[in-house]
Amino acid sequence: MVRCNWQAVLRRTRYLCYLLMEHAPADVADASRKFREVTG
């Protein structure tokens, strides 16, 4: 079992997503599109 502070991880991820959306919305949209293509 991996023990981790999931709330802290989620908070950090949410913060990073917020920064990305603030500074590079086009890049984020392109990256999410590519991610969806890769994951199907």
Q: Is pLDDT above 70 for 2?
A: no
Model confidence pTM above 0.85: no
The residue among 10, 30, 11 whose CA lies nearest residue 21 is 30
| pLDDT at residue 30, as a whole number | 86
**Non-local CB neighbours of 27 within 8 Å, separated by 6+ positions:** 20
**Could you say which DSSP state residue 38 is in?**
H
- Give start and end residues of each alpha helix (H) in 1-40: 6-23, 25-39
User: What pLDDT does residue 7 have?
Assistant: 87
Q: pLDDT tens digits for 8-37?
A: 888 999 998 888 777 776 777 788 889 889
pLDDT of 22 reads 78
33 by DSSP, 3-state: which?
A: helix
Do residues 32 and 26 make contact, with C-beta atoms less than 8 angstroms apart?
A: no
